[in-house]
A = this chain, B = another copy of it.
Amino acid sequence: MFFAVLQLIGGVILSFGWIPQIVQIVKTKSVKDLNKKTFWLLLAGISLMEVYAVSLAVDGVGYAFLITNSMSLILILIIIGLMFKYKKS
């Protein structure tokens, strides 16, 4: 139980951790140091995790992971969107 709580807090921090990055991109409009391949891979990894998270929720194990992972998925999608918007053509 204690360890599961640590995992949950870790998941929340991992999700919300992307917010300062988003704020910075919006402010600076600069994304050149962010690696495109890395963010596509993060998107792929989190998407696979999302399938697992949905299966946990369907099985009645709980919604915590689904919520934090969905949050991460949305924030990574926003970052990838911003990378497209601000990339130098």
Contacts and interface: CB of A to CB of B under 8 A. Distances in A.
A contact residues, range: 35 or more
Contacts of A34: 21, 33-34
Given A6-B52, A7-B49, A41 B16 contact: yes
Given A7-B49, A42-B17, A49-B10, A33 B35 contact: no
A46 interface: yes
Contacts of A31: 33
Given A18-B38, A32-B33, 11 more contacts: A3-B52, A6-B51, A11-B45, A12-B45, A13-B41, A14-B49, A19-B38, A20-B41, A21-B34, A33-B34, A34-B34
